């Protein structure tokens, strides 16, 4: 058994009892009463079973291609990770992600002694700790934090470290949040640190719709309203009164999920005006951006993350960078 350390931070946790819900109510008011378009992906708390349903879709290429990329590029990854002693993974995710992505990546780092997982979900962190301890001899540290908001400083022990962000996570953020996330990572990283990040560069409409326009994807998206119903009981009777459609916006290279109301209804939001929803009214609640390789490289370079190598010839690219 390895020595497990758990850092409890004061980061906002949406499911905690003592959270200030004013921002949550404001976000949902903006969605329902103002522009009807707001990326609410931050309110998706992926049920592992629902996520497994998503990746079991044979047309959902992202997970499979990313896992294959890591497996096929062990030599390349080993070149950049061979002297790494501490690996920090942001949002490691489900057990399948740990099996097919995290564990193979850890095996590429021959000098590795410590694995640090950073995630907003306490439940995920506990399962991550158990899995890594059972399958490696690494020291495991857990940090409960929203890395979009900030990455807490770690003790400077002089170890060579690598930071990893997989799953095409950055594409789920709007532009301002993408920049904020990379700024947090760049500020946290030190000169010479390795940063590995994946990006989805698929721009084919038909394959994107086959991957995202599914009942399993709808179940994930609907968790946004499941969550809000848990903190605003006035909305609870209407959380399932929506149908979903998925669209590809070529000009912005964005796949979007829109929910259409199946009936007229009204509900209250604390400290705001009452909300009136009409049958057929549409709300765009999740957007996922797809990148061009040149665009992504430019974005990383602007954050002082020099691209050293790009692995992949398909939809998913693995960018290996170094902080300078």
Residues 155 and 234 in one domain: no
The answer to whether position 232 is within a domain reads yes
Domains held by the chain: number = 2
Residues 188 and 88 in one domain: yes
pLDDT of amino acid 3: 41
Residues 187 and 273 in one domain: no
Phi, psi of 199 (to 5 degrees): -140, 140
Is 212 in a helix, a strand, or coil?
A: helix
What is the strand order of the sheet 4-7 is part of? Answer: 4-7, 139-144, 114-119, 86-90, 161-165, 194-200, 316-323, 305-311
Residues 174 and 313 in one domain: yes
Residues 93 and 172 in one domain: yes
The answer to whether position 52 is within a domain reads no
Is 198 in a helix, a strand, or coil?
A: strand
Residue 11 confidence class, pLDDT cut points 50, 70, 90? very low
The answer to whether position 226 is within a domain reads yes
Residues 173 and 317 in one domain: yes
The answer to whether position 9 is within a domain reads no
Please tell me the distance from the alpha carbon of residue 247 to that of residue 257, in angstroms, as a whole number: 7
Average pLDDT, the chain: 90
Please tell me the distance from the alpha carbon of residue 137 to that of residue 147, in angstroms, as a whole number: 26
Residues 270 and 178 in one domain: no
Beta carbons of 90 and 118 less than 8 angstroms apart: yes
Residue 172 confidence class, pLDDT cut points 50, 70, 90? very high
Residues spanned by the domain of 72? 59-203+291-323
Residue 15 confidence class, pLDDT cut points 50, 70, 90? very low
pLDDT of amino acid 63: 94
The answer to whether position 50 is within a domain reads no
Residues 319 and 184 in one domain: yes
Residues 285 and 299 in one domain: no
pLDDT of amino acid 40: 93
pTM of the predicted protein model: 0.88
pLDDT of amino acid 9: 31
Taking residues 286-299, what's their average pLDDT? 96
Phi, psi of 248 (to 5 degrees): -105, 120
pLDDT tens digits, 267-284: 999 999 999 999 999 999
Taking residues 198-225, what's their average pLDDT? 95
Please tell me the distance from the alpha carbon of residue 55 to that of residue 70, in angstroms, as a whole number: 17
Residues 267 and 299 in one domain: no
pLDDT of amino acid 12: 36
pLDDT of amino acid 18: 41
């Amino acid at each position: 058994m390895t020595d497990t350390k758990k850092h409890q931070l004061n980061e906002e946790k949406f499911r905690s009892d003592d959270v200030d819900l004013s921002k949550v109510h404001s976000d949902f008011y903006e969605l329902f009463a103002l522009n009807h378009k707001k990326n609410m992906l931050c309110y998706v708390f992926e049920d592992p079973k629902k996520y497994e349903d998503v990746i079991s879709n044979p047309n959902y290429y992202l997970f499979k291609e990313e896992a294959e990329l890591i497996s096929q590029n062990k030599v390349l990854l080993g070149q950049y990770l061979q002297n790494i002693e501490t690996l920090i993974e942001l949002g490691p995710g489900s057990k399948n992600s740990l099996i097919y992505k995290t564990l193979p990546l850890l095996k590429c780092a021959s000098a590795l002694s410590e694995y640090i997982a950073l995630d907003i979900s306490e439940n995920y962190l506990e399962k991550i700790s158990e899995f890594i301890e059972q399958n490696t001899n690494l020291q495991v540290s857990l940090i409960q934090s929203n890395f979009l908001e900030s990455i807490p400083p770690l003790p400077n022990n002089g170890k060579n470290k690598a930071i990893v962000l997989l799953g095409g996570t950055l594409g789920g953020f709007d532009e301002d949040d993408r920049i904020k996330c990379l700024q947090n990572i760049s500020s946290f990283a030190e000169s010479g640190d390795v940063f590995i990040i994946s990006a989805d560069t698929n721009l084919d409409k038909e394959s994107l719709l086959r991957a995202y326009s599914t009942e399993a994807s709808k179940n994930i998206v609907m968790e946004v309203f499941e969550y809000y119903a848990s903190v605003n009981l006035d909305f609870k009777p209407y959380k399932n009164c929506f149908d979903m459609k998925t669209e590809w916006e070529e000009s912005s290279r964005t796949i979007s999920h829109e929910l259409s109301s199946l009936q007229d209804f009204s509900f209250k939001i604390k400290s705001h005006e009452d909300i009136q929803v009409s049958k057929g009214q549409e709300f765009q609640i999740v957007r996922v951006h797809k990148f061009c390789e040149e665009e992504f490289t430019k974005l990383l370079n602007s954050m002082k993350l020099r691209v050293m190598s790009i692995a992949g010839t398909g939809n998913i690219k693995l960018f290996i960078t170094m902080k300078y």
